[in-house]
Amino acid sequence: MIFPLPTKYFMVSASSDGETELNAFDGALLNSGVGNTNLLKVSSILPPNCSEIPPFNFKEGSLVPIAYSSITSSICDQIISAAVSIAHPIDKKSCGVIMEFHDTDSKSITEERAEFMAEESMKIRGLGVKKIQSVSSEHVVKKNGASFSGVVLWT
């Protein structure tokens, strides 16, 4: 196993504008607190018994497992948003589900869609939902914009 099973998580979200879409994405990562790390995109499962912790600063260059949503655009005045939602199980011994969604709409609509998908994924698994947690970001593009939201998984 490359990484031990995560036991902790925290949520991050930010947006940015930049000279290029990639620079805007980099700015959103920096603004969210995970910009000087190597993100390892993971699929959408919150391991059993995971507990939320406050965000912290990683050593620069750390490998960071994260489920995330992002969107970039170069269309001036366009609204872009990214959201992640966690559906926590009633039974802490079961896994939870993280859903990521992005769109060219308000963060409230994007977050609502991510929450719906998280609840639906729990239904598919036959698991009851104890609570839903969500975080989202919204950005109005000036030159090149990015919106980013994620769930960092840690040990």
Instruction: Please give the CATH topology (third level) of the domain spanning 8-53+63-154.
Output: Pyruvoyl-Dependent Histidine Decarboxylase; Chain B (3.50.20)
Q: Give the rounded distance of the alpha carbon of 125 from its chain centre.
A: 21
Q: Where are the domains of the chain?
A: 8-53+63-154
Cα separation, 36 vs 55, in Å, equals 14
pLDDT value of residue 91: 95
Q: Tens digit of pLDDT per residue, the chain (155 long)? A: 577 899 999 999 999 999 999 999 999 999 999 999 999 999 999 999 999 999 999 999 999 999 999 999 999 999 999 999 999 999 989 999 999 999 999 999 999 999 999 999 999 999 999 999 999 999 999 999 999 999 999 99
pLDDT value of residue 82: 98
The pTM assigned to this predicted structure is: 0.95
b/e per residue, 10-35, with b = 16+ CB within 10 A? Answer: bbbbbbbbbeebebbbbbbbebbbbb
By annotation, the residues acting in catalysis are 38, 43-44, 100
